[in-house]
Amino acid sequence: MNNLLLRLFVAALCISASVSLSAQPAENLRFERFTIENGLASNWVTAITQDTDGYIWVGTASGLSRFDGYDFVTYRNIPGNPHSLSNNRVNVLHVDPSGLIWVGTQNGLSRFDPVNGDFLNYYHRPGNPASLPGNSISAIHETASGKLWIGTDQGLAELDPETGSVISEWSSPANANSLTGVTISSISADQDGLLWIGSRNRGLITFDSHTKTPRFLSDENPTVATFPSRNVSKVKVSSTGDIWVGFMPNHGLMRYNPTTATSVFYQYHKKDQPEFWNVISDIMESEDQTIWVTTYNQSAYMGLHKFNEKTGLFTRYTYQPNNPTSLTWGYCESVFEDKDNNLWVGTSRGLNKADRNRWQMGMMNVDPDNPFDFVNNFYAIEEVKEDVLWLGLDGTGFIEWDRKTNIKKKIERTDPRSGDGRVFAIRKDLDGNVWFGYRGQGCARYHPKTGKLEKFINEPGNPESLIGNIVSDILIDRKNTVWIATSSGLSRYNRTTGTFTNWQADGSPEGLSGNSLFSLFEDSRGAIWIGTREMQYDPRATFPSGLIRYDPETNRFRTYRNAPGDPGSLSSDAVYCVNEDPEGNIWVGTNNGLNKLDSAGNQFTVFHDADGLPDPNIVGILVDHKGLLWLSTLKGISRFDPVKKSFRNFTMEDGIQAYRFNDNSRFKTSRGELIFGGVAGINLINPSGISGEKVIPKVLITRFLKQNMPVRFEKTESQTATIDLAWDDNSIGFEFVAINYRSAQQTRYEYKLEGLENEWVQAGTRRYVNYTHLPAGNYTFRVRAVNAEGVYSDTDAVMEIRITPPFWRTWWAYSIYAFLFFGAVFLIDRYQRQRLVRLEREKVRDREIEQAREIEKAYTTLKSTQAQLIQSEKMASLGELTAGIAHEIQNPLNFVNNFSEISNELMEEMQSELEKGDLEEAKALSADIRINLEKISHHGKRASGIVKGMLEHSRSATGERTLTDVNNLAEEYLRLSFHGLRAKDKSFNAEFRTDLDATLPAMNLVAQDIGRVLLNIINNAFYAVHEKSKADINGYKPEVTVQTRLKTNHFEIRISDNGKGIPGEIRDKIFQPFFTTKPTGQGTGLGLSLSYDIVKAHGGEIKLETREGEGSEFIILFPAV
């Protein structure tokens, strides 16, 4: 039927013209997808537009979303809130020059103000001619005068945005030219201001906005050949003046020329136009005057269609299940081009964006119609002759690709050259022969001229065979020497003998450090660089052993390893690849970052993901003609500029085959092209051919926070906002964004707060900053952005902040301060004069009082001196008595000892005489013995008397407090303790010293009690150091120190030792009665307890400071009385 209609239409040349159809190449569009998982309000996208700030607004079946390249913000109808969206079903969007967003919904028209975040809603009010004629809004068109034409399900209305007034008289039944009941679907205008209106029930309509006269073209031209349907879904006036009309259902697209009244139809035709479908949902003309059409239906041919003016054909873009860069779905409802020529497509399953100006790298993958066993996992790459590449596959052989003819030939795994399919290295030597490296099958040399294939494997027991069968890389050096890296070591092929020279790890410092070799590279000096890593294909392989440099001239190896904690060492021992830049620098790719080896060959500089790397796993490095490094990683490709130290990362939008790239899958062609292989194909990059329009990011301040609370602000025409703050609102924050839809996640930001910061602060990808406790003053916050391509925003986003000072720092406050100051000076001067007179009077009185105080002080001092003299006399008497006692006791003891010895001798003589029978002599000796015994008894009684006298002297103490020289008391008992312990144990020895405060006066104490306290603590100190000395610690010298100090309100005695200290678990027990750490029988456990009670009775306290293993210090505090 459609073909018949078309033939009839062609016959009527006065009405229309036919179209010739032919094939055409398609523009490569790679779509980025956004769905509810990304924050979109709904996957059913119905309308798209862009506001004056650059935000993308997306109307959906469940609300309105705003997108900034990072996040979606959603607006919905909130029941009971008149300032929310009128209805969640959005049909059409429009942005006016002032930045207001007009939203046509299923139930009313909403106007959104981005400044205050509120919606103003317009509805149909029955009986009110100044309201909208209907509530279902499907079209919005703005005239040059700023008036809005609103298409509803019940007619047309004119709205004045300034006054908010609505005129809908053309939709009144009383109007002869009424549009009452017309379901308007679309509005467009030509250069003369004539409105072209599409309706669902009256076809195509024109409306003269000056005369307010409609014209129903479908009624005037009822023939099917001219207007095949009265159900018009979309109308678009192109820049050429043609009217593009979409019909529903199944009547396709019409291109109408109003000047000639001729039309051209475009419909689905299986043979002539298979890429087009007839159900039109949207029509858009891009900046390059290309017509884009979206269609929908349950058909494989629905989607986005691009019209080619030259051929008259459409190219279809739709959903492809195995292509993640295709549309989310073929059911398309809307299409929009933004200011940067990005193409946005709304489908029933999400939003899609294609960057038409973005440079796309070349890619080769398996043809879906000839899938080569559906293998796209590429490894080995070699150009065996000009423009002919051999590409090793993962387990299925390799592919021969002739780039000139684009013919791909699969070399199956059964081919002897495939080595059972696992080809992981292909290298052509200088003779034109091709070397294959296999995982498990050794290596082989192929002679293309003869077709001969020589295989080399490891032969157990043959030291001149290949070192191992798992080959990871092959290197042909400048001398045409073949080097082979395996999981078992390194092999070098000897062309003369056909044998191999092998190296394996031998543990020597100048030998190979490990056998698990992975990659090979020859630098400009002829050195061979070897990367190592753990080989998952060989369980016998050793762990990675770093980067190895081999010098063929000296036959020595040097190894570079990762040293934990050393930032100048290799970042990881797992080395994937090595390359050299034109300056002779060695670059190393590891599983933990990019490394640059300095010219001295000792220090590494490491670049990581924090520096801009997409991923720290670098599996390939190639250097282009400009000296830029191209890196393949497990997360895409990155280009590194060694001079600027900057990274440019390439993602799926740039055409990479997938994010993951494979080990040792890299190659530089004879034409300087770079090839990287991955899990879904290979990418070809011509570094000198990178093009594409640069997108300048527009940076905006999206939110200002005061005390962590958002504050609304208005921007001026220069995009500068001004905020005034009180002095106590000085903790502020800024949130910002660069409107950039090309790799937005890679956009970096710089900011500064003028008035506080002089230099730009590098924020990286962070999009916020906070400042706290800012002083009063004027500040200007600036933020700028630089996108992934290194392009800076052309203007800064600026906000001026004025923080007013507190009232006590204002000019009038300072005026008051000045008045008060001078007034105070006057009062102080007057006061000082009166004070001087008063002071003179008081001086005389003070002198009299002072004289009386001096007399009283002299009397007190005299009494104190008298008491001290008495005490000194007592102490002197006690000292003399003690010395006499010691002397007197020593003398009797000497006599007792002497007479005892003499008596023993006389007894022996008497015994001898008795045995002889000489009784007389025996009696004489007996008399002498009796005399000696009397003398012993005499001197014993003498010693006893001395002791009794000492006891009587000790009992004579009264126990009353007396002024005591604390320094003397401390020193006396220190020495008494030392000599007493020394007398008991001759092995005991220790150094002791005193540090006595000479300014410490005599204190009112019970000297004997305090002496007992000192003696207990000093004895314990000597015991502690003596016990530690038994451990024979090298260099240890036992020492006890006694210190006294006078403080403001008290004095203190410190007794410290360098013994073992007191363990923490017993520190709280040492003052408890009967607690002791000494062996049984050497202590009662009452010493410190009694000492504690004595000190408390004096109104003092004892403190302990101890360090286990280092010693202890007891501090005795007494009131200064």
Domain stop point among 307, 336, 361: 361
Q: Is the pLDDT of residue 866 over 70?
A: no
Confidence of residue 875 (pLDDT cuts 50, 70, 90): very low
924 and 1004: one domain? no
pLDDT at 24: 37
Mention every residue, 6+ apart, whose C-beta is less than 8 A from residue 545. Answer: 505, 513, 514, 516, 532, 559, 561, 573
Choice among 102-106, 358-362, 637-641, 1005-1009 with the minimum mean pLDDT: 358-362
Q: How far apart are CA 741 and CA 1084, in angstroms?
A: 87
How wide is the angle at C-alpha 422 spanned by C-alphas 420 and 426, nearest 5°?
115
Q: What is the pLDDT of residue 890?
A: 58
pLDDT digits (tens, 9 = 90+) for 997-1042: 989 898 888 887 888 888 889 988 988 888 888 888 888 899 999 9
Evaluate if residue 957 carries a pLDDT over 90: no
For 611-655, how does the pLDDT look when each residue is reduced to its tens digit (9 = 90+)? 989 999 999 999 999 999 999 999 999 999 999 898 989 988 788
Average pLDDT score over residue span 705-717: 80
Structural domain includes residue 614: no
Number of H helices, E strands in the chain: 7, 72
Task: Identify whether 60 is part of a domain.
Answer: yes
- For residue 910, what pLDDT is reported? 81
Task: List phi, psi (to 5°) of 627.
Answer: 85, 10
d(CA 424, CA 470): 10
Q: In terms of domains, do 217 and 296 share one?
A: yes
Residue-wise pLDDT for 9-54, tens only, equals 333 322 233 232 222 346 788 899 999 999 999 999 999 999 999 9
- Burial (Cβ within 10 Å: 0-12, 13-18, ≥19) of residue 890: exposed
The answer on 804 and 863 residing in a single domain is no
At 435 the pLDDT is 96
Q: How confident is the model at residue 975 (pLDDT cuts 50, 70, 90)?
A: confident
Residue ending a domain, among 343, 361, 379, is: 361
Could you tell me if 788 and 895 lie in one domain? no
Query: What pLDDT, on the 0 to 100 scale, is given for residue 870?
Result: 39
Q: In what order do the strands lie in the sheet with 90-95?
A: 90-95, 101-105, 108-113, 118-122
The answer to the question of residue 104 being in a domain is yes
Strands laid side by side in the 362-364 sheet: 362-364, 681-685, 674-678, 661-668
**Position with higher pLDDT, 499 vs 1010:** 499
Q: Would you call 460 helix, strand, or coil by DSSP?
A: coil
- What pLDDT, on the 0 to 100 scale, is given for residue 892? 66
Is 90 exceeded by the pLDDT of residue 599? no
Statement to judge: residues 940 and 986 lie in one domain: no
Confidence category of residue 487, pLDDT binned at 50, 70, 90: very high
CATH number at residue 113: 2.130.10.10
Q: What's the whole-number mean pLDDT along residues 162-175?
A: 74
339 residue type, one letter? K
| Residue after which a domain boundary falls, among 306, 329, 361 | 361
Instruction: Identify whether residues 220 and 268 lie together within a single domain.
Output: yes
Q: How many domains does the chain have?
A: 4
Confidence class of residue 223 from pLDDT cuts 50, 70 and 90? low
Q: 527-541, 738-752, 941-955: which has the minimum mean pLDDT?
A: 941-955
Kindly give the interhelix angle for 811-916 and 919-955, rounded to the nearest 10 degrees.
160
Q: What would the pLDDT profile of 417-445 be if each residue is shown by its tens digit?
A: 887 768 899 999 999 999 999 988 999 99
Could you tell me if residue 478 is inside a domain? no
Residue 865 pLDDT greater than 70, yes or no? no
Residues 895 and 972 in one domain: no
* Positions of E strands within 107-210: 108-113, 118-122, 137-142, 148-152, 155-159, 166-167, 184-189, 195-199, 204-208
Q: What is the CATH number of the domain that holds 721?
A: 2.60.40.10
Residue 78's domain comprises 2-361
Residue 1055 and residue 1016 in contact, taking contact as beta carbons nearer than 8 Å: no
Across all residues in the chain, what is the average pLDDT?
A: 85
Q: What is residue 920's predicted lDDT score, i.e. its pLDDT?
A: 80
Using left for φ > 0, alpha for ψ between -120 and 50, and beta otherwise, residue 187 falls in beta
Whether the bond between 249 and the residue before it is cis, its omega within 30 degrees of 0, is yes
- Cα gap 140→503, rounded to integer Å: 78
CA distance 915 to 783: 127
pLDDT at 371 over 60: no
More confident residue, 874 or 261: 261
Asked whether residue 589 is assigned to any structural domain, the reply reads: no
| pLDDT value of position 276 | 63
Separation between Cα atoms, residue 345 and residue 327, nearest integer Å: 8
Residues of the chain with pLDDT > 70: what percent?
87
- Are 872 and 1005 within one domain? no
CA distance linking residue 105 with residue 103, whole number of Å = 6
Among 101-110, 404-413, 1036-1045, the range with the most confident prediction by mean pLDDT is 101-110
In a domain? residue 390: no
What's the average model confidence in pLDDT over 1097-1115?
90
Asked whether residue 379 is domain-assigned, the answer is no
CATH code, domain carrying 1044: 3.30.565.10
Q: Are residues 981 and 1102 in the same domain?
A: yes
> Could you give the strand order of the β-sheet that contains 350-355, starting from the edge strand earlier in sequence?
31-34, 350-355, 342-347, 332-337
Q: What is the pLDDT of residue 409?
A: 87
Share of the chain above pLDDT 90, in %: 49
Please state which of the ranges 60-64, 981-985, 1095-1099 shows the lowest mean pLDDT: 981-985
Task: Note the pLDDT of residue 1093.
Answer: 84
Region 457-476 average pLDDT: 95
**Three-state DSSP state, 11:** helix
Q: Are 968 and 950 part of one and the same domain?
A: no
Q: Inform me whether the pLDDT recorded for 757 exceeds 80.
A: yes
Residue of 267, 233, 263 whose CA lies nearest to 247: 233
What is the reported pLDDT for 328?
Answer: 95
Same domain, yes or no: 193 and 309 = yes
Same domain for 1086 and 1105, yes or no, is: yes
Compute the average pLDDT of residues 195-214: 91
Residue 543 to residues 4, 72, 514, 662: CA-CA distances in angstroms?
76, 47, 8, 20
**Which pLDDT does position 21 carry in this prediction?**
25
Q: Tell me, yes or no, whether 762 lies in a domain.
A: yes
Q: What is the pLDDT of residue 954?
A: 46
